[in-house]
Structure 1
């Protein structure tokens, strides 16, 4: 494995800077007893193990530690967990080691899976859980294809709920903060008898949006209500049943964003020579640029946006999850566990997922109707011990999932001068240019000066797609660890997965002939030229703004979300089966204690792992061309690590270094369909690589002081990434290959670091715990196409989010009887402005839409236990 000097130097400097050589890569939140780090148990290998003896890069955070850091949602985990990047801008995005999923649509599976009490959550918009009643969360980094299955190429987040207690009791916690934040969280244990225990927990959190839009909306708001009911039945000494029901309700506004023009040569800026509604001078078209700049940070000022009335920023979703776990220890060495899960979620639309970035209703991408998500999972696990020296875990997994969404992409009627129109028409297959030339000649002769404004649906006026997916997954897995000696173990495992996806797609495009008839009938100044392209000549001047007139005619006739009549439906059905085997092998060596005797090191484990993962292939709508297939992506990971406890177990240092190879990586790109319409879709990059390293340190320099430090460095590169030149496709229908292998990976930073310092003061007035956290993210590339990359070479701000450091401060007080605690907190102490998304497109729409993260927030908390 080749880890470059840029990666190794910070690791070496950190190791030298801390007395003694230690390791901490898997645990950032352990408690202390008499200055020592307690043992932490994880289930990264489907069995309970000491984290320091588990050859997996895993971070385990207890519920108490989450509260000490003020972490209220999964999104905030990325502040302190190495290689973890979580954005919640225009869509939820979870990335680990640069691997994640960028788009929010139903057809896309996540690359990082999330589990709640063993139940798989298959959709990204249900994965960013609040940390309500969480006993622990484990972040597994790297592909988990053997024990956890498909769509774990980046890793997994495993949430475990606090189980019902055997005695009555609970807590209530409330918080008030700026932006009118109000939070209430409570839990109550209600044992029924000595064998049956129940627990009820509720959480409500509301906060006004801090991004003020010119329309009066307040975006980036929070409004969540959730409740969990749990039951635990000790049916016998050997049988335990755990069940839960989760209800969630979200009524929030997504973040709004700002806009900046990336490239004048982009197709929709000046690249096609087209004019937009509002343009009145063909020699100086400016409406498109003006629209973007009307929503720039420079024009709007701090925390203000201008996205217009057509935006739908609502994030409205209801969710139900049910889980039942049956655990049977049928003899001393063997047990069986079954996990049954059900999830039903409805996302209420309309919701705008993308546009060109300004207040005018130009380029639109909307989810319409209600999106349905329903899944049923079943997992059967066998685990235990064979021959006194082999631990094993094996089982089967089955999932049945249904998803649906209605998606609309639309563009306005645009315009062009006759010569520019000839260029546009030449790129459309099936048009007779000689006939068009004759028509133009006859029409322009009617107007003094020999020219005439032309309007047309040069880009798709409306494309409405109803999409349904049925997916069935079956997998069988097995993994065994052979303890060859007391200090050396070898692990082998594999998983076979078979997934069948059946998709139904109904596509309806705008009826352009009817559009032509409607516009020409409403205003006789519009003369049809090419009805099948909704092309009309306007017998007037550009100064009269014929484009606004034509589009207003359609909006008055079709006032809803779809401003055009729709033609006949095209139906596509397709079923594909994807199969994959993902093996793994790992070796671990624990250095004998007698070899460490007398040194500063208490324990050391060294491990090496080879593992594989894959992300399922899928079918996706591709404009008017219907369904296309994207092949599965495959990942091979090679990893080495060391885990050390030192200084009488007051210091822990964990290091992991890895090299990963991708085949057929899923990437979001912009292309054109057979109708020369721009389509945002997926393709498989030929090959790519990731090399990196992670460091986690926990140190108690004294009985009352704790220091956490994490660092990660991930170096990404495409070994092969061929794309098509978008302008050649759009203008001439020619496929001109371009090499994009020199570009950076998008969305995930190369370097992250975090430092947390906490001190405990015991006084006669109670215990005071001040804490300070700092988190660093390097700059992040947010480009989508080659044009964004080219523009960023001239001006990095056209496609990058700047590097930033966030500081959080917190002071808590706990009374002598431990039942009452108070806390005051400030997040983003310096009120830093930083970006958490979204996308820069330099070839097509030519804009960079950027989303701000939370400004300074502060508040107080009160918690009472009973």
Structure 2
């Protein structure tokens, strides 16, 4: 096998010395990018430069051209977007943590909600597990920045990511591709359009993604692997000129070993929260006693390594970026399928009725060893089952000066999330059943009240009912009979309920407005200002330990339902000023926005117990800007650049609840994000072409938890990707060789520091990785 670095640098001359390739004398393929980008961010088709909102749009061809295979990779090309695969302390290989403009959510638990909504063909994807979608037959991806509380609704206070799939066409056509690369990478995909009649078209797409992991355990399990099979079948029926029916069924199957966590540190001292049981310290006291020593920890901050005690949980288990000493089961299995029906009926030339009906089913199990050792400090297993149904109706109208939309939305989900947790102080079952229902009515209109002026007004009313039935019980207690006043307390015995087995319900009613004003200063330049409001639902703290028992860990006589901890919605109000400029020939575009966010009733997540506890603990202000530009000067050149800046700070914070300072930085929100790309196409006399591209992305220092723990923080870093493609005449064949992370940058994808577990973990990104893709279209 060729060493990836030597191959990678062999491609550099194509970027640095473009004269090494033949010049061309025909129209280049970059001319296709001069066409205006059409977006649907406001539920209707309009030009990107005409929509008075902050939005980044990527066509499927553009994403394929950049080597992007899943939705999470678009963060490298989008200002002020953080998109991590963040399994937290679960073992899921597919768990999205998305932040836009400093607002988002990292937790996968179904009793919490995301802060950035992900949509596929208008269908909301409720759960973060399974939300890192593979991009197969995607027509376009749109990233909407800022709260989308009117047209998209709750849980989009940071923004929304909207995927539009490719629809079947009237002609027989198809494509197939194969990609090979580092770590036995083998990706296969195929898509075929088959017209069934003059009015009925079908499309079938299948893809397989396979790759070895890059972190190895003692038992040979390779973490960070990929083994995914996905498929989609779609029908488009055109029974009349004014009626379109799109039906689709999709399914995904993942069978993997889990995320590539490694241990980078152990807190051998006291937890941040004095009421939190220090599980590593407790284990190490027992290990020292078993070795014949006194009842003190075998490892301390002053002596973090103690090889004289075989059972000591100490720094011997910190073994670098590519090794994990865990022995507990490690796997991540996911089965996901969905069906949708999108119907569009043109009632007249100016009136359209739409219906979006969808059902999705998620079945997943995942497990991992959180202490990275043969010992039992913290080991996790999850079983997550979820079903969701949604129905939306939209009525759209348009006149010469006015366009409007009225909509109604219904959403229902239910499921179970059972957690089996083995800790040094106890083994217990956590989790429970959840049931959520939401209804909304909304309207938005845009009125061109003068030659160059237009105003947009929107309003959404939302009602929600949410319930949680905890099914949590202690299974065993290794300290039973020890007489320890806490570890052998009555509420710590086997069979004790961690939370009462009663259903807790909450109801939420909110109204979210928006208003914007746009001024078309010239044919090339638009200036707009807007105000918008959004909210993220409240919920329940699902994982709790020690048990909350009236008369022991809660006041005597407390009603059972009051023992189940809840939190309330959080809100943002955003003021934005933006510009959109496009030259007359569309060769140069610049889009930018300044924004100010008032963030109220913050759902602050602190990791002091066995899981993150969510509290409404303060308020904050977020200021920033984005700037995106694209230049197509001709002769096959394309340049694009994006810059994002965020200044986020806590205005008020209940430090006694949050246990961190209001001076701390927001977690998972870098101050600066930047990306810059350049490509050049060289036409050949045969009509074929060679295209070379390089892209560099940068983000400044990022903290992976609210405590700003330095050991899992990531310093600023840059990642360089490069590729070169040969494209045949009429684009029938394409061969691409590329390298991601060309300079072999060492950086964290995510990090977790559990205050109770005292282990500090990270997922380090893969090193430089090459790939070779062949694609054929027919």
TM-score, normalised on structure 1?
0.78
| CA offset digits 1:697-716 (Å, max 9, x no partner) | 10012231000101101111
CA distance in structure 2 between the partners assigned to 1:571 and 1:360 by the alignment: 34
CA contact (8 A) 2:327 2:372 kept: no
Structure 2 vs 1, CA of residues 271 and 187 (structure 1 numbering), >3 Å: closer, same or farther? closer
CA distance in structure 1 between the partners assigned to 2:280 and 2:86 by the alignment: 29
Structure 2 vs 1, CA of residues 262 and 55 (structure 1 numbering), >3 Å: closer, same or farther? farther
2:446 is equivalent to residue 406 of structure 1: no
2:766 is equivalent to residue 829 of structure 1: no
Q: In structure 2, which of residues 355, 362, 376 is the aligned counterpart of residue 338 of structure 1?
A: 355
1:528-539 to structure 2, matched below 5 A, reads: 529=483, 533-534=487-488
| CA offset digits 1:329-385 (Å, max 9, x no partner) | 100111010000000010024x23x83x431434325234x3211000000001111
SS in 2 for 1:65: helix
SS in 2 for 1:204: strand
SS in 2 for 1:215: coil
Q: In structure 1, which of residues 458, 483, 498 is the aligned counterpart of residue 463 of structure 2?
A: 498
Unaligned runs of 5+ in 2: 1-27, 88-94, 306-312, 549-562
Q: CA deviation at 1:274?
A: 7.5
Partner of 1:260: 265
1:131-280 to structure 2, matched below 5 A, reads: 131-252=135-256, 253-262=258-267, 264-266=269-271, 275-279=284-288, 280=291
Q: CA deviation at 1:684?
A: 1.1
Q: CA deviation at 1:800?
A: 1.3
Q: CA deviation at 1:664?
A: 1.3
2:355 is equivalent to residue 372 of structure 1: no
1:640-789 to structure 2, matched below 5 A, reads: 640-646=577-583, 648-671=585-608, 680-724=612-656, 740-765=661-686, 766-785=688-707, 789=708
Partner of 2:20: none
CA contact (8 A) 2:111 2:468 kept: no
Partner of 1:577: 507
1:291-302 to structure 2, matched below 5 A, reads: 291-296=313-318, 300-302=319-321
CA contact (8 A) 1:479 1:493 kept: yes
CA distance in structure 2 between the partners assigned to 1:40 and 1:489 by the alignment: 21
CA distance in structure 2 between the partners assigned to 1:574 and 1:347 by the alignment: 25
| CA offset digits 1:6-63 (Å, max 9, x no partner) | xxxxxxxxxxxxxxxxxxxxxxxxx976597221110111111111010011111001
1:409-424 to structure 2, matched below 5 A, reads: 409-412=421-424
Partner of 2:90: none
Q: CA deviation at 1:534?
A: 3.1
Partner of 1:55: 52
Q: CA deviation at 1:261?
A: 3.2
Q: CA deviation at 1:812?
A: 0.6
Q: In structure 1, which of residues 462, 483, 490 is the aligned counterpart of residue 448 of structure 2?
A: 483
Q: CA deviation at 1:847?
A: 3.8
| CA offset digits 1:462-504 (Å, max 9, x no partner) | 3312411111100000000011123210000010011101211
CA distance in structure 2 between the partners assigned to 1:743 and 1:715 by the alignment: 12
Structure 2 vs 1, CA of residues 773 and 670 (structure 1 numbering), >3 Å: closer, same or farther? closer
CA distance in structure 2 between the partners assigned to 1:294 and 1:691 by the alignment: 44
CA contact (8 A) 2:245 2:341 kept: yes
Q: CA deviation at 1:216?
A: 1.4
CA contact (8 A) 1:294 1:359 kept: no
2:322 is equivalent to residue 303 of structure 1: yes
Task: Count residues with an aligned counterpart.
Answer: 707
Instruction: Compare CA radii of gyration and give the structure with the larger one.
Output: 1
CA contact (8 A) 1:255 1:313 kept: no
TM-score, normalised on structure 2?
0.87
CA contact (8 A) 1:757 1:771 kept: yes
| RMSD of aligned Cα (Å) | 2.5
CA contact (8 A) 1:292 1:358 kept: no
Q: CA deviation at 1:680?
A: 3.2
Partner of 1:516: 480
CA contact (8 A) 2:268 2:299 kept: no
Structure 2 vs 1, CA of residues 278 and 511 (structure 1 numbering), >3 Å: closer, same or farther? closer
Q: Per residue, is there more helix in 1 or in 2?
A: 1
Q: CA deviation at 1:124?
A: 0.6
Q: CA deviation at 1:530?
A: 5.7
Partner of 2:560: none
CA contact (8 A) 1:367 1:405 kept: no
SS in 1 for 2:501: strand
CA distance in structure 2 between the partners assigned to 1:137 and 1:35 by the alignment: 18
Partner of 1:615: 536
Partner of 2:308: none
CA contact (8 A) 2:263 2:759 kept: no
| More displaced stretch, 154-163 vs 624-633 | 624-633
1:113-128 to structure 2, matched below 5 A, reads: 113-128=117-132
SS in 1 for 2:220: coil
Displacement over 6 Å in runs of 4+: 267-274
CA contact (8 A) 1:317 1:348 kept: yes
